[in-house]
């Protein structure tokens, strides 16, 4: 990470604001074999392995395996952010460098839990206040419905898709906005400067009919309502 930060600092213009994040998909513990052996390794497996060098630390106070897992992600995020700041300098924080902790938008606890743990005295003593190195918390809001819901009608119209976005899809707009309220509360609680989003919400193309309804899906995203 130090070498990556050095490369980023040297290669990108000084007026470019750099967002460097850690967390995207790491929470996806159901795919424990998805992650390679390097870096974070397999977060859930690491968090439940008593031989892992961070096991005792993330187990205080006691927690269930999933809570330990997101604490581990928070710990690795703090290490990453501080390494980048050691290269860029603290003066670059928020101007040129904005470290971002990412997680699943529908579950704000995956952000609030590691932030609460990073705010305990032991972590503050090592890394400082969380808002001195975590500029942004970020989720991937998908107010686009799930692909199977958008595709369940053979020939949907922009109007029918917009109706589903308003209320009806599993990840409809009201659902995602309610989750956003939870994120905003976490942002304010920990004095985080910015609430952001990652991963674009262009209509999914990985369903059983990946292109059949693309025109209407794109049209719905440009719908005046």
Sequence-distant (6+) residues with CB within 8 A of 171 are 106, 142, 143, 144, 145, 146
Highest mean pLDDT among 70-84, 97-111, 152-166, 174-188: 70-84
Which segment, 16-25, 32-41, 121-130, is predicted with the most confidence on average? 121-130
- The more confident residue out of 31 and 83 is 83
Buried b (16+ CB within 10 A) or exposed e, 22-45: bbbebbebeeeeebeeeebebbbe
Q: Is the whole model's pTM more than 0.85, yes or no?
A: no
pLDDT (tens digit per residue) in 4-26: 999 999 999 999 999 999 887 77
- Asked if the model's pLDDT at residue 96 lies above 90, the reply is yes
Choose the weakest-confidence range: 22-26, 138-142, 201-205: 201-205
Is the pLDDT reported for residue 133 higher than 50? yes
Alpha-carbon span 97 to 120, nearest angstrom: 25
pLDDT value of position 145: 65
Q: Which of 39-43, 70-74, 110-114, 164-168 has the lowest mean pLDDT?
A: 39-43
Average pLDDT, the chain: 84
């Amino acid at each position: 990470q130090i070498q990556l930060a050095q490369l980023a600092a040297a290669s990108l213009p000084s007026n470019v604001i750099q967002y460097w994040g850690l967390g995207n998909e790491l929470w996806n513990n159901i795919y424990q074999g998805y992650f390679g052996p390097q870096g974070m390794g397999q977060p859930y497996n690491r968090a439940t392995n008593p031989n892992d060098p961070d096991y005792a630390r993330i187990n205080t106070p006691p927690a269930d395996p999933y809570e330990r897992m997101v604490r581990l992600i928070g710990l690795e995020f703090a290490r990453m952010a501080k390494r980048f700041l050691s290269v860029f300098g603290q003066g670059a924080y928020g101007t040129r460098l904005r470290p971002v902790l990412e997680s699943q938008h529908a579950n704000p606890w995956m952000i609030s839990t590691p932030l609460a743990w990073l705010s305990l005295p032991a972590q503050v003593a090592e890394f400082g206040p969380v808002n001195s190195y975590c500029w942004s918390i970020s989720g991937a809001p998908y107010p686009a419905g799930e692909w199977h819901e958008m595709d369940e009608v053979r020939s949907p119209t922009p109007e029918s898709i917009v109706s589903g976005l308003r209320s009806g899809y599993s990840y409809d707009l009201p659902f995602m906005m309610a989750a956003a309220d939870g994120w905003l509360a976490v942002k304010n609680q920990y004095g985080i400067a910015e609430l952001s989003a990652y991963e674009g919400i262009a209509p999914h193309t990985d369903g059983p009919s990946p292109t059949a309804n693309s025109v209407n899906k794109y049209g719905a995203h440009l719908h005046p309502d």
